[in-house]
């Protein structure tokens, strides 16, 4: 499976409404959950002023960007890099608005929206589902998944894409290590050597609940049934499992 982690920097916060433009794209390729080393970074001359608030974020000014290619000059290279991939963007609606606006300005046939050439996954939406009620900005995710973002004094499209690639692999790879201080606790799933337990190892002891413990548990579930509209979720799932087992036995 080929994925591309993508980020942009822009002249402002609104695209089509205020005519703000993309000034940097950064993209990192992942194949079969491994970062391949293929990257794309392009700075672009927006041919317009950069808002002060945007400059404070990324530090790119008009003097640095003057003479750089325009988006239309790098569009083919950019689209070829992302074509057919699952493109991962943190807060995708923001970046898509700018990219789609740039594509709409191209006076040529072809893709008018990024989703015409690839699928898009919003890693911010994914993080919010995985960590509801918590901070899920890129810096917060770096702290949560122990990803080094010490070089991120200012935002940069390629730097942020590289950081997000590490965060995404850890966020979607399951538990990396039982203990947080293992040397290889940051490796992505699939990059570690598999350790198999010996076949002659002692059997795991199974301790069954006593009759008293079962009675206390059932009394607790009775209380949940009485106090909630849909009843105890454990009992609903147990009933569903019994129905599924019975259905399978009849096949």
Enumerate the domain spans of the chain: 2-172, 211-250
Residue 47: which region, alpha, beta or left (left: phi > 0; alpha: psi -120 to 50)?
A: left
**Cα 121–125–130 angle (5° rounding)?**
115
- Residue 3, pLDDT > 50, answer yes
Share of the chain above pLDDT 70, in %: 81
Residue 2: which region, alpha, beta or left (left: phi > 0; alpha: psi -120 to 50)?
A: beta
Query: Exposed (0-12), middle (13-18) or buried (19+): which is 41, by Cβ within 10 Å?
Result: middle
**Mean pLDDT on 218-242:** 74
Say which CATH topology domain 2-172 has: Nucleotidyltransferase; domain 5 (3.30.420)
Name the least confident of 6-10, 153-157, 191-195, 219-223: 191-195
Write out pLDDT tens, residues 158-184: 999 999 999 999 999 854 433 333 333
61: helix, strand or coil:
coil
Q: Give the residue numbers marked as catalytic.
A: 155
CB under 8 Å to 180, separation ≥6 — which residues? 146
- Residue 197, pLDDT > 80, answer no
């Amino acid at each position: 499976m080929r994925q591309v982690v993508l980020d942009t920097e822009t002249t402002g916060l609104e695209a089509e409404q205020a005519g703000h433009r993309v000034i940097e794209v950064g993209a990192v390729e992942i194949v079969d959950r491994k970062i391949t080393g293929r990257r794309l970074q392009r700075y672009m001359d927006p041919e317009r002023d950069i808002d002060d608030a945007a400059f404070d974020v990324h530090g790119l000014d008009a003097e640095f960007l003057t003479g750089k290619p325009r988006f239309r000059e790098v569009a083919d290279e950019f689209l070829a890099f992302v074509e057919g991939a699952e493109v991962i963007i943190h807060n995708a609606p923001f970046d898509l608005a700018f990219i789609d606006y740039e594509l709409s300005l191209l006076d040529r046939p072809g893709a008018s929206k990024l989703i015409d050439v690839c699928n898009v996954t919003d890693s911010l939406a994914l993080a919010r589902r995985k960590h509801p009620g918590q901070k899920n900005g890129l810096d917060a995710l770096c702290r949560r998944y122990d990803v080094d973002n010490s070089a991120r004094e200012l935002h940069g499209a390629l730097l942020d894409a590289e950081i997000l690639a590490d965060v995404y692999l850890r966020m979607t790879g399951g538990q990396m290590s039982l203990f947080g201080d293992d040397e290889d606790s940051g490796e992505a799933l699939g990059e570690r050597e598999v350790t198999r337990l010996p076949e002659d190892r002692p059997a795991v002891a199974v301790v069954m609940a006593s009759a008293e413990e079962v009675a206390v548990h059932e009394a607790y579930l009775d209380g949940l049934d009485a106090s909630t509209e849909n009843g105890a979720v454990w009992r609903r799932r147990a009933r569903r499992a019994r129905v599924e087992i019975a259905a399978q036995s009849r096949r």
